[in-house]
Amino acid sequence: MLTPFIAAKTARPQMLRARIRRQRLYDALEAAVRCPLTVVCAGAGWGKTVLVSAWADTRRTPVAWLTLDAHDNDVQLFWASVAAALRAAGAVPPDSALAELGAVPSDHVERLRHLARGLGQLSAPTVLVLDDFHEITDEDVLAELSGLLRHPPPGLRLVLLTRSQVALPLHRMRATGEVAEIRSGELAFTAAEAADLLARHGLALPADEVAALVEHTEGWAAGLQLGATFLAGPDGPRTVADFAGDVRAVDEYLADEVLSGQSPHLYRFLLHTSICEHVCGDLADAITLGSDGQRTLEELERVNDFVIRLGAKPQWFRYHHLLRDMLRHRLLLECPTMLPELHRRAAGWHAAHNSIFEAIEHAVAAGDWAYVGRLVVTQAAPLIASAHRAALSRLLRQIPPTEFAATPELRVCVALLLFDAGDYDAIPAQLAGAAELLRDRTEAQRLPAELTLGSLRVAVHRAGGDMPEVVAETTRLLAMLAKVRFAEVPSAVQYRAIALNNKGFGLLWTGRPDRAQRYLWAASTAARAAGVELVEISALGHLALLEVMSGSVQEAARLATGARDLAERRGLMSALQTGSVHLALALVHLERDDLAAAQRALQQAMRAHRGEPAVAQWLVRLGVQARLALAHGDPRAARAFLHEARRDADAGLSAPALDRWLLLTESEVDLATGAAETVAHRYAVLARRHRLTSPERVCAARAGYAVHDLRRAEELLAGLRAPLSETAATVAARIVGAQVADAAGYGLQAADRLADAFALADQEGIHRPFLALRDARLDALVARQNLLPHRNAEFVAEILAGMRAGTPLHRPALPAGQLSERETEVLRFLPTMLTAGEIAGELGVSVNTIKAHMRSIYRKLEAPRRRAVVARAREYGLL
């Protein structure tokens, strides 16, 4: 839904009273829009807007309109307004990337990719008109628009209306015929067109008089309009010779002819409402303290060509640039002391109608810095954690530094600017100063500012990784929010969603996953209701991380994919809050052994984290990088990432669950490099202080299996809690259980456990545990499964092929030397029921020779009996 202000900017101006049909220019425009770009360039009053608006009425395909102003010199706001204009024109299909784009990505590459995709999905050939393009001076906006024109979408034609030469590199487009230009020479009225215009004013002049008027005005549309009004004036007969008609006389003429005949009430109405770029009846009433704003505007539009209706319905209006400039100059001269009060009234109206940026702009224009602070605290502050962050920061930077210490709300504005700059160390001093200034206020008066102070404290604790403080501060915040009335603090719903998300985040990393899950679900629901999509994306991303770190891959994939799709629709793929989504997806892809997809998700996470100091997500990212390196068979690189994580961990970091997840990653690297005894000791010590999680128990069982402590491995696996449905942790537990059972000589039990692992893994498409836990025994077990009738036969064959295509297994050296070729032949008979004599008969040698080989095998495998020899041989991959 468009805000009232955006609705005005995207409405096509309607100037019905003086409109005439200029077919030659309609034809020129029709020919021009066959090119990707059309530039209509002429000074003020040459009729650019009137012409193109009238021409748009003749077209059957969509014409989107956007009236620009100085506030559009923000690359995100500019493209968000363009998307809104295209939607308002009906050019955007429901499934388009632009269909729900409330704010465009802050990342340059992501923004261009998203826009290119959306502009390539327009429902019909569309003309996009950018009126007052001369207002655009921002280098980023101009550079991205130039990039778009280098590869223009086939279904889009761009028309720029500008008073001056556009700051775009048009030389290449001129050389290739890709730009059409219409200038003042073409816009100048002919005598026939001027006669038509005069006739609309009830004037029928001789041809020579019409020619003289055209000559005097040089065909300038505004001059002709002024001349027609002058000649039709009520003061008796006037001649063309009496009308000067040049640009220098416009101000005087507007003052004498448009304003002088108005009543004092109407004159004040025009003067006071000229502070607004766009005005509606309700806003006019708020500014003038009257009650007839709508009737007055409609009447002015009916009798005056300098008041322009925006859109088909008479809701929003604007004054012609020439008239507005003159009115503002008059207002400054005649009522300088009224200006601040008029801007305050406009700010109040916009604040009440959820146009918070316009409200702050008027408050800034009023120089009412205390009011600016109150608007920020009660309505705008949560936007610092949104896609509107840059726009809010630009407004806050307009506050004079000398005013910052005046009120607690202005101190909050300083803290918000520090948050934007990433200077978290400097924020507490500003918060302390604000809290000191609040001491003399009542509890109700303090509450709005204290909500922002609490939210900023949470941001500081979260950035430093102090999760217990995050939980404690958000608990206090939620208690305060329970006392807030929405009418007093309209942003309370956003504050609540943010607080719920932060509390879930803190609970996740302090090791309370069940409570974290409840708060994160509540946050996603509250964020959706409050319209803060970045918070919803963050909550869903952390829910996905919680699931995948617990081993629940399918649920993690569902949550992360939903959050990613939401970010994609909103153009927020590179926002900081999507980092958890990309990291969760990277871990999901790792479990499914899609290493290329995992790498892409990791790169997207790195783009989202760029320049942000939040330590928890930084450490998760390093952990994912370590896991990806290990999956690629590079444990040295994995250790380097883990070393970087330990080095970069802030001294104030307190995130026990994150520490244990990184320790689990380190343990998996240790197992891959043969340091199983280290892992076994590590988890034996940890188990005495904490209850091991399912992934930790599986890791410890792997260590027990690797050091031949099969009893301990069985105990760890037997002690697993009832797992969540369909988890990677359960798959890994079944695989390790199969290895342990086979090593203990329980082949049927091993086969059953491995069959269970395959059935569960097939449901989720999980591959990684089979590759990560691979040894000679697992190779043999999987090969045997592949020979059995199996409901998951295709999946078993796929896993077996992946294992065989992987890195060849390193065969460990035997304690007392390698087996000879003949000893290896004898070993293959030992798992059977054949006696030494029967083996001798099979091989065609004497029984004494077989017994000698068996003694040598026992010695080399350090096993006293035949059954133990078979178990050790399987451990070493010899059977």
| Confidence tier at 872 by pLDDT (50, 70, 90) | confident
Please tell me the predicted confidence (pLDDT) of residue 816: 63
pLDDT score, position 40: 93
Give residue 248's pLDDT band: very low, low, confident or very high (50, 70, 90). very low
Highest mean pLDDT: which range of 104-118, 205-219, 553-567: 553-567
- In this prediction, residues 224-236 reach a mean pLDDT of 75
> What percentage of the chain carries pLDDT values higher than 70?
92
User: Looking at residue 142, what is its pLDDT?
Assistant: 92
Mean pLDDT for the stretch of residues 757-785: 86
Say which residue, 197 or 232, is predicted with more confidence. Answer: 197
Alpha helices in 592-655 (DSSP H): 595-609, 615-631, 635-648
Least confident span in 152-156, 234-238, 352-356, 431-435:
234-238
Enumerate the β-bridge partners of residue 466: 654
- Tens of pLDDT along 45-95? 788 998 999 999 888 889 999 999 888 888 888 988 899 899 988 888 887
Residue range 624-679, pLDDT digits in tens:
999 999 999 899 999 999 999 888 776 678 899 999 999 999 999 999 988 999 99
pLDDT at 342: 96
Q: Is the pLDDT score of 130 beyond 70?
A: yes
Return the percentage of the chain with pLDDT > 90, whole number: 40
CA 293 to chain centre: 40
Residue 104: other Cβ atoms inside 10 A: 26
More confident: 792 or 831:
831
pLDDT at position 659 is: 93
Q: Which amino acid is at 121?
A: Q
Predicted confidence band of residue 726 (pLDDT cuts 50, 70, 90): very low
Arithmetic mean of pLDDT, 782-807: 78
Residue 793 in this model has a pLDDT that exceeds 90: no
Listed range (43-57, 136-150, 178-192, 794-808) with the worst mean pLDDT: 794-808
Please work out, in degrees rounded to the nearest 5, the angle formed at the alpha carbon of residue 470 by the alpha carbons of 464 and 473.
Answer: 130
Residue 833: pLDDT band (50, 70, 90) is confident
Task: For the chain, report the end-to-end CA distance as a whole number of angstroms.
Answer: 69
At residue 101, the pLDDT reads 58
3 pLDDT tier (thresholds 50, 70, 90): low
Is the pLDDT assigned to residue 575 strictly greater than 90?
A: no
User: pLDDT tens digits for 835-844?
Assistant: 888 888 888 8
Q: Pick left, alpha or beta for residue 218 (phi over 0 → left; psi -120 to 50 → alpha; otherwise beta).
A: left
Closest to 398 in 3D by CA, of 424, 346, 363, 349: 363
Q: Which two three-digit tokens encode residue 529?
A: 């209701």
> Would you call 127 helix, strand, or coil by DSSP?
strand
Q: How far apart are CA 604 and CA 586, in angstroms?
A: 10
Q: Which residue in the block uniquely carries the two structure tokens 């409402």?
A: 273
Nearest to 399 by CA among 378, 419, 382, 374: 374
Tokens of 8: 């005005």
Per-residue confidence at 9, pLDDT binned at 50, 70, 90? confident
3-state DSSP assignment of residue 123: coil
**Sign of the alpha-carbon torsion through 480, 481, 486, 492:** positive
738 within 8 A of 757, measured Cβ to Cβ: yes
pLDDT at res. 627? 95
CA distance 157 to 63: 9
Average pLDDT over residues 514-541: 92
SS3 412: helix
Provide the token pair at 718. Answer: 């037997």
Note the pLDDT of residue 17. 52
Report the mean per-residue pLDDT for the chain.
86
pLDDT for the residue 20: 80
